[in-house]
Structures are given as C-alpha cells and as structure tokens.
Amino acid sequence: MQIDCKVTFYPGPKIVKASKGDNLLEVARKAGIEINSVCGGDGICGKCKVVVREGAVSAEATVLLTRGEIQRGFVLACKAIINSDLEVEIPAESTFEGAQIVIEGVENKFAYSPIAEVDRSKELEEKEIFIHSALATKLFLKLPSPDLKDNVSDLTRLYRELRKGRSIPIMQTGLTNIKNLSALLRSSNWDVTVTLGKRNETTEIVQIEAGDTSKNNFGIAVDIGTTTVVAHLIDLNTQETLGAKGTYNKQITYGDDVITRIVYASEKDGLEKLNAAIVENINSLIASLVTENNIRLSDVAAVLCAGNTTMTHLLLKIDPQYIRKEPYVPTASFVPVIRASEVGIKINPRGLLSCVPAVASYVGGDMTAGVLAAGINKSSDLSVLIDMGTNGEIVLGNKDWTVCAACSSGPAFEGSGMKCGMRARLGAIQTVEISKDFDVQYAVIGNGKPHGICGSALIDILAEFLKVGVVERSGKIKRSLNTNRIRINEDNIAEFVLVFKEETDTNEDIVISETDIDNLIRAKGAIYSGTAILVRSMGLGFNDVKHFYISGAFGSHLNIEKAIFFGLLPDIPREKYKFIGNSSIAGARMCLLSMENYEEASEIAQKMTSFELSSVPQYMDEYMSALFLPHTDLSLFPTVSAALK
Amino acid sequence: MQIDCKVTFYPGPKIVKASKGDNLLEVARKAGIEINSVCGGDGICGKCKVVVREGAVSAEATVLLTRGEIQRGFVLACKAIINSDLEVEIPAESTFEGAQIVIEGVENKFAYSPIAEVDRSKELEEKEIFIHSALATKLFLKLPSPDLKDNVSDLTRLYRELRKGRSIPIMQTGLTNIKNLSALLRSSNWDVTVTLGKRNETTEIVQIEAGDTSKNNFGIAVDIGTTTVVAHLIDLNTQETLGAKGTYNKQITYGDDVITRIVYASEKDGLEKLNAAIVENINSLIASLVTENNIRLSDVAAVLCAGNTTMTHLLLKIDPQYIRKEPYVPTASFVPVIRASEVGIKINPRGLLSCVPAVASYVGGDMTAGVLAAGINKSSDLSVLIDMGTNGEIVLGNKDWTVCAACSSGPAFEGSGMKCGMRARLGAIQTVEISKDFDVQYAVIGNGKPHGICGSALIDILAEFLKVGVVERSGKIKRSLNTNRIRINEDNIAEFVLVFKEETDTNEDIVISETDIDNLIRAKGAIYSGTAILVRSMGLGFNDVKHFYISGAFGSHLNIEKAIFFGLLPDIPREKYKFIGNSSIAGARMCLLSMENYEEASEIAQKMTSFELSSVPQYMDEYMSALFLPHTDLSLFPTVSAALK
C-alpha cells in the first residue's frame, strides 16, 4: 500500500508529494529541485548532502558523513529513503549553485583573445620587461656578507642589492620583515629570496625567505561575476596558466542581480554575509587550484580581481548602497592594493590583493579589464566591446577615447526569468537548430538528457523561430501553425515545446513561452539600442566600427550569425566580429602579470566616459524600435531581410 | 624602650636597621635609598608609594591609595610607621629613576640652538612651506556634493579635492578609511578634515573626520637617551612647543649602557622587557603632556623619535644583538614610518611613528638629529659637534662632508661610577668653585641640601682642583696639603671632602676620590683624543674649525672655560663654542615639523662617514697623552698653561 508523504524543501520552501519508500534525491529531482550529484546517485561522491530537519529517513551507513554531521541531521539524499513527512534543508554547497562549474579547458572557454595576447607580449618583449612587473615578483639574491669596511645595516644591504641594476625608486617594507631580517640573513648565509609586491606607485618587500625559492611564485586572477566566479592559477615566472576553476557566486542566495544584493547589504549583517560568501567562493577556488597543482598556498603571493563595482565593494566589505542611489556614486572606483588577509582571502599571509579599477557605479573593473584584454585602448581602429553578463555593458572607442554605457538587459541570457532557462552547465541545451517542419536538433552540455536551456541556445531558438516562421516579427507565436509543438498553456499563453518530457531529465516538457520570448526581445532590444545610441551619440555609424568584440558567459558557443538574425547584434560584415570569451579574467590576468598592464587599466578607467543611456532623448525610441525581430527598420538588417524574403 | 627592627628594601635587597615607631620614608632616606617625594613627606603628593610585602606598619587613612592597592600592600612611605621587621618593595615609579625629570622650561634646558632655529625658519619661509610638510597635517575640505554630471567615486572626489593646488603625487589610504568614507561624507554634509601623514616618499590619508578639526593637530618629538627620555608636545599648525617632559629611561633597570642592554635583549623575554620599558616611558610622557595641556590623545597623530641605534632597535622590538658583534651591523639604520600602535605607543590609533635615521651601529639618529639642529650640513664653515651623553659622540664636517666617531668615554659625566656622583636632578650639586684656601662654594639644583654631584660640577671640580693645586697634573691628590678636606679613606685612597655631612641631606660627606678623578680623566681623555684624532685624520687642526657645538645632558650649566681647563675641550677661542643643549630632541622636533628637514636628516645619515677610532694607530698615543690635566703637552693648552704659571 502506498503511503503519501509531504516533503518540504528549504530554501523555498517548496512542498513536494512523495511516497513512503521513495528515494529523496529522486523526489527532489522530479520536482525540479537542484541537488548536486556527481556520481549519479551511487553514494560515492558525497555531493548530495542535505539536512533532515523534521521526520524520519532511513539510510545506509556511509563514511562520507562525519559523526557530527549525522548528529546534525545530515544524510546523503541519494541514499535516503523517505519514511514520513519531511522537512529537508539543502545547503548551498549541495546545489548546483554552490558547486564548481565544469570548465572545459583553459585554452578554450576562458582564454582571452589570442590577438590581444600576441600583440601585448610582443610589445612587452620589445620594452624589456621590468623585472618586478608582476603584482608579485620573487628575486633570489646573494648578498655580500658584511665586514668592517662594509658594515651598512642589514636592511640597507638588502635594498642596495635589490637596486643593483633595477630601478625601484620607492621601496617599503613592514616592521614584521625588519624584525626577522638579521636572524634570517645570517641563518641563510646571506642567500635570500625576496618577494616584491607592487602597491600602486610603490614597491613593497612582501616577504623574505631563506635560500632560493624564486621558482615558486604563483598568482591568482579572479573574475567576480554577479553570477559566476572564475579563478585562474598562474605561474608568475613563466606567465603560464596552470589551471582554471569556476563556481557560482554564493551571493546568489541573497539576490540574483546587483540591485537586490545592494539592498540586502543594507540589512542587518547583510554586508557581512555577502562579503563572507564571495570570500568563501574565492578561497575555495584557490584551495582547489593549489591542491590540484600541488602548490603550497604560501607560494601564492598575489590575487588580482576584476568585477563590477558592486562586486568589488562587497569583496572589500565596503557598503555599496550609494551605487544604486542617484547620482550613483561608488565609494571607490580605484581601490588600493591591500594585504589579501585583510579581507580573509587565504594565500600567503602577507600576500597582496589588487582590483582592476572601475569606471563608474555601473561600469566596473570587469569592463576595464575587457577593454584591456581586447586591446581597444592600444588600437587606432574604432572598436566596440559588448559584454553580456548578468547585465549588458558596452564600450566604444580607440586609443584616443572611450565611452561606455550599461544597459539594463537583465540576466535573460543567463536563463534567468525563463520558464526553462538555466545557466550554461551540465544538462543545459547549448545549441539549437529547427527545421522548416519544426524538427528540433539540439546539443546538451555533458551529452545527457536535457534539463533546461542556456543563453546561447536561447539566441539560437529566437533566430530559428524567425527563420522558420514560428513567430511573427513582433515575437508572437503563430498559434495557427500545424505542429503539436505549439500549444496554449494554462495561463492562456502560447508556448513552443522544444523537448518533450520523454526526452528530458525532469520528466517535464522543455518549452519557450511568449513571455520568455518577450523577455529575450527586451533584453536584446536593450543591448542593440544601447549600442546603437552609443555609436550614434559619437556621430558615428556601425560601419565606422572596425572590430566588434563580444564577451560573456556564453562559453564558446555564441553563434554570431544567429545573434544578428535575432537582432541582438548589428548586421555588419561577419569578419568584424570576434568572440573573446571571459574578457574580465583575461584582463585581470594581464594586470596580475604586469604593472604596465595595470597602469594601462587605470588609464582606461580614468579616461573612459560613462554614458547615461536614459538621459539620451532618442534612447526610448531606439529601444522601442528594437523590440521587433530583428528590428522595426528592416533596412538596418539587410542580410536578415534578404534571408527572410 | 627602643625596639630594633630590620627593614629589607627591594630591589636590592638592602637591609637597614630601624626602630619600632620610625617613619619608613625617613629610614629609607637615611640609608640612601631613593624614594620619590614631592610634598616632602606630608602625605599629599602620593609619590612615595611602596609595597609592604612582609611585616606590620601603621598608617593614616588616605585617598591617595585605591582599595585594590591597599589590599596588595601599598602604603605611602611618608605616613608609614614601622611596627615590626619589614620587607618593602619600592616600585620603579616611586624612585627618582622612575620619576619624571623636572624640566626647567622649554626655552631653557631643552631648546636647541637659536642660531640654527632662526636660520632654518627663514629658509623655510623663503621656500614656501609645503602644505603637509609636517609628519601629520590636517586639512579641512569642503567637497562639492555629487550630482549626475559629477558622480565620481567618493574616494576620487576626496583625492581630487586634496590635490587641488597641492602636489601630492603618491597618495594612499587604508581599507579602514575607505569603508567608513561614504557614510562619513554624507553625515558630515561633505565637510571633512583629512589628516595626511608622510610615509617616507608617499602621502597617506591617516584619518578622516567630520567637520573642521584642523586646529587640533599635535605631534610629539622624543629624544630616547640611554639614560633619559624627553618628550615635547608640539602644535603642528603653529609649530609651538606646548610642553616638555623628561624621565629616566626605565631600561636602566636592565643595564646602564647600551652594551649591557644588548646583552640583556638576548636573554629570554629580554627584548620584550626592554621594549615594554621604553614604550611605557614614552606613553607616560605623552599622557602627562596631553593631560596638562588639555588635549585629546586622538588629536596626536605623529610621533618622531631620535635615539641611538640601539634605542631605536629596542623601541621597534628589533633584536639589536649584531650591533655589538663585529663587524657591528645594525638591522636597520633607516626604519620605515609605521603606525605608532604597531609598537604600542598610544596616540591616535592610526597615528604615525617615525625615527630619525642612524649613521651606524654606534652613531645613531640622535647624532643625525644633532647635526641637523646645529645646521652643520648647511654651512660652508667647518664645525665640530660633541655630544656628551652616556657615551661621547663627535661629528666633524660642513655642507660638503661629515665624519663621525663614537668614543667610549663612559657615563662618568652622568655621575655613574662616581662615589658621590648623580644625575642632574633635585639635590645635585651643579656648579662648584674652590678658593685658594680650599673653601668650597657650590650651587644645588632645587636649592636644598646637596645629595651628590652631577656632571657639570664634576668638570668644575677638576678644573678648580688643578687651578688651586689640590691635584697634580697627573690627577693625584696632593696628600701633603694643609686642609682637613683631604684625607685617606679606608681603602687607602686619597679623597677630597667637598661637603661635610653636616650640610648634606644624606648625613654623609660628599667626596671626590682619586678613583673618581681617574674615571673623569679617562672620560675626558677619550673625548679630547677622539676629537683630536678625528680632526687630524682629515688633515686639519682645531684652528680650522669655526664652530664647536656642545650638546648633552649638562643642562645649561656646562662651564666651557672650566671644561677647557680640565682638558676636556681644546684650548681655542671661546667664541667658537656654543652649548646647544639637547640637540637630539631639537632635531627630532625639526623632522616632525617638516619633511624637508627629515629628508635633510636622511641625507646627513647617508653621507656621514663613520670612523672607527680604535683602527687609527695614533689613537692610543693620543689618548694616553690626554690622561693628564689638561694634557701631557701643555703647549696645546696655552691659556691654561698661562693661568697655571
């Protein structure tokens, strides 16, 4: 006899019906509740830990839970059999949100524009790289031992040797290093390795070690996105990227976008919680990177972060509330280099933390980093950079000037607000093709059954809808079409079934509704019109722009052709487009590796003019015109227009 | 009936016989044990607190002792009647050593050379003083409030306003200030006072306060002597010295000279104790100064210390052991500006501490400060500076070059090692004249009964002895003279009674023995021969020297004429001599008030060549020749020679 049980999942709460004897993980999955699991429910990976607050479960013995965890109610969801009504709490680390993103490979998903890279390294070579150009540099020194004819102080001896053939005008060091200096120099027989750190305009002796440890000099570049956090481990001597890790920003628990997080930061302990979340994120990424690469944490002496202005404030535990209040003033756009330990980031205890400077409240260090990575500030050619993150940000300029704007596209391209949207991770449909008879071909990340649709596929879908005529140019689904994929849902809204439930891992249809389409059109309209207004405000047209750099979380799967068809990107020669992936971390990496790059970034941030789109009278008209597929004015999209005919 | 009691005083121990009913303070004084007392035993000042460890005393009730102190055995010695055998502990603060030195007045005892002062202030005026030239400067700023057209970050707004019309190329600030910035700016209606600190080549925003607090900007200059510590409270806006305090260096408990302290620093907890002692000294001087001048501690944002190299190491808790080991290398001669709180000095929690740079292990920042105060480095004239502190230090030079040497004169002129020697404080004989019939005239600090003889009087005595023929030129007392002042003591050594016990406050004769005379001759011989060798090594003679600056702890009572007669100073035209008092604190004050002065001090320290006297072959001969009164070679002292004829 089947006994009904009620399982209440937290956070939420979400109440789900189940039967006594059901497997807890399966019940959660059927209900669309995300619980992490790597081993597929075999009780091996230990990723699906949940806490049973109320009610009874039975479960096998396991070594994956400590005695303390079991006493606090922890159980592996995949091995828990429901015995009664339950109240179940899903800790952040057991959701996909809390789990690390699978990164396809450094060269691939997170590499930055090879063009920018080659240009820059050549240039640095020509310039003869300043010996401690990286945020942290290790130098092995053999000091002459003192005698009566040369008995300057130990510190003077060290400074003297450091300055031999090196231009280090302003050098500082802390009392901690001075206190240890005499004993260290003598016990190491005057052979020491000095870690020099760049603290803005000055050079700091960060650490002094006995013997030659100069080979062990690593740094971390971090992109702090509103949604994802990515870290690269970099050998600061060879400039090689040794590993890359990504994870979802734990702050998501407190709000999806920067505005809700700023609001949350004003609540009691809000700022502390948001700060703790991102610091935990970064620490966990660093811990994974050093462990997997067999590196000591103490050999990591530098962290360089790029993030939007709010993310940077939260990282440094600076109240971000004035960012969202007119006239939108951040506390700091340039933040000084500090000791990483000051914000709880765990590297070498005296290691440094630097952040890429921001332009304004809504154009952050991530954009500065993007401009640097794309090399816009070095080129006489006019370029546009569009970053499609949780918000859309646009830069236009060249080596002489740059303007930028943020457009409130919202996180639609990250799957947010979509009925079946999700971020680009395991189970996400990444690319879609639809034939004239509405047959749907799709590819899924990880090649399993699909779970939802991520950004690149959403763009594909809209382009295909237009091409094969699923929708009108207004975005309305043609209800009259002869296909079982189109139907009217319980809210009386038309929707298109992309994947029927038989093929999905949720046992529910994966659909796109007219509401979803509206969302996507508004998002693309914001980006397209923002770009158009920005270009036009400078008295230019799209044809004047030589390079169109696109960065964002699409992975390597953004289909430029379809993005144009959809009306997201202007209809210009395709060779002008270059998808440069995560340009924020690319720029962060460059700043980590070279002070010259950091100074360039500072100059970029300082010189860039932030443009308030809403203050341009034509913006609303332009935006309204862009709410069509691809646009009200078809003449702007000649190739699309031709294809549609 | 008189009942005998035994009183054991600690530290010591010193055992003293007394009678039941005796006053404890009187018993201590009769035994020559120093217990502080300002009110003269009236139970008013509360300075004579001691702890009765064992035994019984009776005492009146007093509000000068807390309940806790009484429970721990504290009693006012002046009001304690002995009832039994006692064990009594005298805390450091109740001895003269622990008590503050009576300072005669800022203008007087601790002022620096008026010539140097006038020269320098003129020069600064001409140069148009840099607005934040002092170690700490307060600036009141009225920031424009932000609007949509001017919405740079709060920190950028602050930097921008600070830099208006001011050249501050490298500006830094800590995360603490940034975290508070947004709220502070808005709550203060954009009117704030910024404290700028000079941290070597950079400028730091030390503190930001709401409203206009720019008038409250004070600093402390400190001279850390081996024996005494002196502090001046200075208004950094008006450059006025508001008060001066001196005290004995509490480190004396652990050794009289730098060598014994360096040895002590190597013992378990030795460095900690020595550091704690000097920090306590400085904190107590600062506390007195701010209290008496009705100033808030938080308005003191800068401390500038001058001291010998060992004193500076101990202040910063840096192990000084290599200073005394060949090849005599200090850990640091230039120490960076740090936060005063890093070493426990209590001023504004973010206030700065800077130390005048040293030349070498045995020529410290006090000498650098002295050269700066005397203005030797600015003059084309050749000058000599002799500092007679616990050790003798000599500088020779002009604006083009300077050489220096330390001579091991020992602390004889501070009264150390003398049978009746004492430091220049209440009860010390300060000047002496002896007539041909051996009548002795003397002056006592405080005008009471004499307790001992201090440095200036010791020089007087030796000069008078030679003049009236009490001693041979070898320093031997003429035993055959017809006076009751000359006698042979129990150790079979001749001595001269300066004051008979009837006139002293110890009830014992105040005498000078041949051993004392030997000590003084060796000390003066070291200084004279050191100076002579230094001058001669540069191919010069005393006649080439235009100015002879004398600094030291003699107060204003050093008699140059008698110092020459004694053979301590060369016999050159008297107008060349200038007594400049405590030149160490004068230089510290100058560095506190102006970064230009500090940079000059750095240059002085860097350019000065330290001279190892013992490595000069002629030194020993020269020294031996100087062990006569005034010298073996009378032709070097023509005016003395004439007077003696």
Residues A30-86 have pLDDT tens digits of 777 777 665 556 676 676 888 898 899 988 877 677 776 787 788 888 889 999 999
Residue B167 at interface with chain A, using a CB cutoff of 8 Å? no
Residue B178 at interface with chain A, using a CB cutoff of 8 Å? yes
Residue B329 at interface with chain A, using a CB cutoff of 8 Å? yes
Report helix, strand or coil for B148: coil
Band (pLDDT 50/70/90 cuts) for residue B276 is very high
- pLDDT of A126 above 90: no
In 3D space, the residue among B337, B249, B345 whose CA is nearest the CA of residue B290 turns out to be: B345
Identify the burial level of A149 via C-beta atoms within 10 angstroms of its C-beta, where 0-12 means exposed, 13-18 middle and 19 or more buried: exposed
Which of B168, B178, B353 to mutate: most A Cβ within 10 Å?
A: B178
Q: Write out the H or E segment, with its range, that includes residue B235.
A: strand B228-235
pLDDT of residue A113: 34
Which of B154, B163, B182 to mutate: most A Cβ within 10 Å?
A: B182
Residues of A in contact with B338 (CB under 8 A): 174-175
Distance (Å, rounded) from C-alpha B584 to C-alpha B582?
Answer: 5
CB contact under 8 A, A151 and B361: yes
Can you spell out the DSSP letters for A377-444? GG-SS-EEEEEESSSEEEEEE-SS-EEEEEE--GGGGGTTT-SSB--SSTTEEEEEEE-TT--EEEEE
What mean pLDDT is reported for chain A? 88
In eight-state DSSP terms, residue A103 is: P
Residues of A in contact with B342 (CB under 8 A): 175
Residues of B in contact with A201 (CB under 8 A): 169-170, 202
Residues of B in contact with A338 (CB under 8 A): 174-175
Count contacts between A and B (CB, < 8 Å).
156
Band (pLDDT 50/70/90 cuts) for residue B31 is confident
The 10 Å CB-count burial string (b at 16+, else e) for A268-289 is eebbebbbbbbbbbbbbbbebb
Residues B570-613: pLDDT tens digits? 999 999 999 888 899 999 999 999 999 999 999 999 999 988 88
Neighbours of B70 (CB within 10 A): 13
Residues of A in contact with B146 (CB under 8 A): 327, 329
Residue B144 at interface with chain A, using a CB cutoff of 8 Å? no
Q: How far is B552 from chain A (nearest CA, A)?
A: 26
Sign of CA dihedral B443, B447, B453, B457: negative
| In contact, B643 and B489? CB cutoff 8 Å | no
Q: How far is A249 from chain B (nearest CA, A)?
A: 22
In eight-state DSSP terms, residue B102 is: P
pLDDT of residue B130: 40
Find the closest chain B residue to A614 by CA distance.
B148
Residues of B in contact with A615 (CB under 8 A): 148
Residue of B153, B173, B328 lying closest to A329 (CB–CB): B153
Residue A333 at interface with chain B, using a CB cutoff of 8 Å? yes
Residues of A in contact with B200 (CB under 8 A): 170, 172
Residue of A151, A178, A318 lying closest to B329 (CB–CB): A151
Which of A168, A181, A182 to mutate: most B Cβ within 10 Å?
A: A182
- pLDDT of B129 above 50: no
pLDDT of residue A117: 38
Distance (Å, rounded) from C-alpha A452 to C-alpha A428?
Answer: 5
- pLDDT of B100 above 50: no
Q: How far is A167 from chain B (nearest CA, A)?
A: 15
Distance (Å, rounded) from C-alpha B388 to C-alpha B269?
Answer: 31
Residues A491-537: pLDDT tens digits? 899 999 999 999 998 888 999 999 999 999 999 999 999 999 999 99
| B489-510 average pLDDT score | 92
Residues A441-496: pLDDT tens digits? 999 887 889 989 988 899 999 999 999 999 999 999 999 999 999 999 988 999 99
Distance (Å, rounded) from C-alpha B358 to C-alpha B606?
Answer: 8
Band (pLDDT 50/70/90 cuts) for residue A356 is very high
| In contact, A343 and A317? CB cutoff 8 Å | yes
CB contact under 8 A, B170 and A173: no
CB contact under 8 A, B172 and A200: yes
- pLDDT of B44 above 70: no
pLDDT of residue B143: 97
Residues of B in contact with A318 (CB under 8 A): 175, 178-179, 182
Residue A167 at interface with chain B, using a CB cutoff of 8 Å? no
Band (pLDDT 50/70/90 cuts) for residue A118 is very low
CB contact under 8 A, B152 and A316: no
Distance (Å, rounded) from C-alpha A291 to C-alpha A281?
Answer: 15
pLDDT of residue A626: 96
Percent of chain A with pLDDT over 70: 91
Rg (CA), chain B: 27
Find the closest chain B residue to A182 by CA distance.
B331
Band (pLDDT 50/70/90 cuts) for residue A112 is very low
- pLDDT of B425 above 80: no
Q: How far is B338 from chain A (nearest CA, A)?
A: 8
Residues of B in contact with A612 (CB under 8 A): 148
The tally of CA atoms less than 13 A away on the side-chain side of residue B297 is 15
Residues B281-325: pLDDT tens digits? 999 999 999 999 999 999 999 999 999 999 999 999 999 999 999
Sign of CA dihedral B77, B81, B82, B83: negative
Residues of A in contact with B181 (CB under 8 A): 331-332
Distance (Å, rounded) from C-alpha B632 to C-alpha B572?
Answer: 17
pTM attached to this predicted model: 0.79
Question: Token pair for residue A370?
Answer: 């993007």
Percent of chain B with pLDDT over 90: 65
Report helix, strand or coil for A92: helix
User: Which of B:13-42 have CB within 8 Å of A?
Assistant: none
Question: Token pair for residue A435?
Answer: 């034939």
Residue of B156, B172, B186 lying closest to A336 (CB–CB): B172
Distance (Å, rounded) from C-alpha A276 to C-alpha A257?
Answer: 17
Percent of chain B with pLDDT over 70: 91
pLDDT of residue A93: 63
Question: Which ipTM value was assigned to this complex?
Answer: 0.79
Q: How far is B396 from chain A (nearest CA, A)?
A: 20
State CA A512 to chain mean position distance.
26
pLDDT of residue A25: 86
pLDDT of residue A129: 38
Residues of A in contact with B406 (CB under 8 A): none
Beta bridge partners of B398: none
Distance (Å, rounded) from C-alpha B529 to C-alpha B526?
Answer: 5
pLDDT of residue A584: 93
Distance (Å, rounded) from C-alpha B521 to C-alpha B631?
Answer: 10
Residues of B in contact with A360 (CB under 8 A): 151
CB contact under 8 A, A328 and B151: yes
Sign of CA dihedral A141, A147, A153, A156: negative
pLDDT of residue B95: 66
C-alpha distances out from residue B374 to A643, B311, B331, B396, Å: 90, 22, 28, 12
Residue A153 at interface with chain B, using a CB cutoff of 8 Å? yes
Band (pLDDT 50/70/90 cuts) for residue A364 is very high
| In contact, B209 and B185? CB cutoff 8 Å | no
Residue B319 at interface with chain A, using a CB cutoff of 8 Å? yes
Which of A148, A150, A152, A153 to mutate: most B Cβ within 10 Å?
A: A153
Report helix, strand or coil for B625: helix
φ/ψ (deg, to 5) at A425: -145, -175
User: Which of B:567-626 have CB within 8 Å of A?
Assistant: 612, 615
Find the closest chain B residue to A186 by CA distance.
B322
CB contact under 8 A, A156 and B199: no
| In contact, B453 and B461? CB cutoff 8 Å | yes
φ/ψ (deg, to 5) at A220: -125, 130
User: Which of A:114-133 have CB within 8 Å of B?
Assistant: none
Beta bridge partners of A527: none
- pLDDT of A28 above 50: yes
pLDDT of residue A119: 40
pLDDT of residue A131: 47
Residues B448-471: pLDDT tens digits? 899 899 888 999 999 999 999 999
Band (pLDDT 50/70/90 cuts) for residue B96 is low
**Pairing, β A218-224 against β A241-248:** unpaired
pLDDT of residue B562: 94
